[in-house]
Amino acid sequence: MAILYGDNGTGKTTILRMIHNLLSPGPGGGHKTAVAKTIFREFSVYFSNGVKVDARRKNPNAGNFELLLTLPKGSTRRAAFIIDEDEAIPNTGPHSDAQDDLIKEISRAIHLRSYYLSDDRILDSDFIDKRRTVREPWRFRFRPSIGEDSIRESDDSPQVSSAIYRATGWARQQALQGASDGSVSTNTIYADVVKHLAEMPRIATAEGESSTRQHLLTMIERTGQRSRDQSRFGLLPAVNTDDLLQYVPLVRDEDFPLVSGILKPYLGGTDARLDALESTHRTLSFFVDTLNRFLKGKYVMFDIQGGLRIYTDEGDALDEGSLSSGESQLLTLFCNILSARESPAIFVIDEPELSLNVKWQRALVDALLGCARDSEIQLILASHSIELLTAHREQVVGLKV
């Protein structure tokens, strides 16, 4: 993470926009036209893998510029970006092929997605579906009384609604991927059972204490608890282990090796599914628990089927339009970062402290970093808040005119 700090007019927002527009491939996003309209002489972005991306022009006025890519071994690629009579970079023309080739090379060299969350909390990125509008349904409810899906939309807080929609989509995708990665077929489990039983004398000798009744009960308890934890978000159905815990102690000693040989492959297959979803479970746990530590008088719940839901402490359902401005800001920030975890990314946020009280500002950066933990996201923030900066001084970049 890096935090840009400076007085009004020192260029914080300009720097954030330049980073995003230089690194966003497009096409058709207007990124390079936005660069052309910015006043600068030279702007460089350095990457830890040795790549450098430069925008240069001979004078600091807005207009034509040259884009350069310097690779780790020192070779350089470049292309001219020339504005037309509409003061825009055209998609076609004598320079377009060289421009397209260079932008593709930059994307391959940095292998990053760029997200820019402006101070009005509109998210810009080439990697979100801009064809969707906030009026499209983002949350689905199942109504048993009529046996069909009911759709609820929100027009009161479109930025929050869109952010929730994207976060829900990310979680569902992770659940599908995790279930696929951890899937164990019935055939595989039965094959493991037969193998386990066939090797039982050797297994019993090699496992020693691990084949004891207490060890098996511990395995059952652990698997049951993990499945209950993950069922909180609908990642997997909870595994009811109560019957196993009740009857395993009653198994006769001479029959116990057979019972153990049958149960261990089943527990192993269940653990494989749980392991595949553990990272998503940790992320969702942090997301929901952190939001609830911020909120007062209300709380959020999340599951794969229903998405994010908001309730009063008395259990009454709320929609996102009833949130305060500060609560809406938090939800928008956290949900948007969550949805960007899919790929390596730079996530740029202008004034993340807007509408937040002093107490929330102090806790905000750690919460944002927590939402990005275990992902390949670098945060770049611009802030006026002393409260936000004090705990992260080593990551602050001061700007001066």
The vertex-298 CA angle with 295 and 304, nearest 5°, equals 90
φ/ψ (deg, to 5) at 233? -105, 10
Residue 142's CB is within 10 A of a number of other CB atoms, namely 11
Distance CA 85, CA 373 (A): 46
Q: Considering the domain boundaries, does residue 20 fall inside one?
A: no
The structure's pTM equals 0.84
What's at 299, amino acid-wise? Y
Distance CA 305, CA 155 (A): 22
Residue 69's CB is within 10 A of a number of other CB atoms, namely 20
DSSP 237: P
Distance CA 37, CA 237 (A): 53
Give the distance, in angstroms, between the CA of residue 39 and the centroid of all CA atoms in the same chain: 33
Q: Look up the domain containing 195 and give its range.
A: 157-322
Q: Considering the domain boundaries, does residue 292 fall inside one?
A: yes
Question: Is residue 154 a contact partner of residue 137, using CB atoms and an 8 Å limit?
Answer: no
Residue 399's CB is within 10 A of a number of other CB atoms, namely 14
CA distances from 235 to 102, 131, 173, 227, 232 (A): 42, 28, 11, 9, 8
Q: Considering the domain boundaries, does residue 93 fall inside one?
A: no
Distance CA 172, CA 166 (A): 10
**Which helix (H) or strand (E) segment is 162 a member of?**
helix 158-181
Distance CA 22, CA 69 (A): 11
pLDDT in tens, the chain (401 residues): 999 998 888 999 999 999 999 999 987 789 999 999 999 999 999 999 999 999 999 988 889 999 999 999 889 999 999 999 888 998 888 888 999 999 999 999 999 999 999 999 999 999 987 555 444 443 333 333 333 333 333 445 788 999 999 999 999 999 988 877 766 655 666 677 677 667 666 545 444 444 688 999 999 999 999 999 999 999 988 989 999 999 999 999 888 888 888 888 888 888 988 999 999 999 999 999 999 999 999 999 999 989 999 999 999 999 988 899 999 999 999 999 999 998 999 999 999 999 999 999 999 999 999 999 999 999 999 998 998 898 899 999 999 87
Residue 12, strand partner residues: none
If you count DSSP H runs as helices and E runs as strands, how many of each does the chain have, helices first?
Answer: 12, 15
According to the model, what pLDDT value does residue 26 have? 81
Q: Considering the domain boundaries, does residue 31 fall inside one?
A: no
Q: Considering the domain boundaries, does residue 256 fall inside one?
A: yes
Residue 42, strand partner residues: 56
Question: Is residue 290 a contact partner of residue 367, using CB atoms and an 8 Å limit?
Answer: yes
- Dihedral angle sign, alpha carbons of residues 313, 136, 302, 166: negative
DSSP 74: S
According to the model, what pLDDT value does residue 60 have? 86
Give the distance, in angstroms, between the CA of residue 135 and the centroid of all CA atoms in the same chain: 23
Residue-by-residue DSSP string for 97-161: HHHHHHHHHHHHHH--EEEEE-TT--EE-TTS-TT--TTS--EEEEETTTTEEEEE---S-HHHH
According to the model, what pLDDT value does residue 284 have? 97
SS3 334: helix
What's at 169, amino acid-wise? G
According to the model, what pLDDT value does residue 277 have? 93
SS3 203: helix
| Domains identified in the chain, total number | 1
Q: Considering the domain boundaries, does residue 317 fall inside one?
A: yes
Which residue's entry shows tokens 């009833």? 322
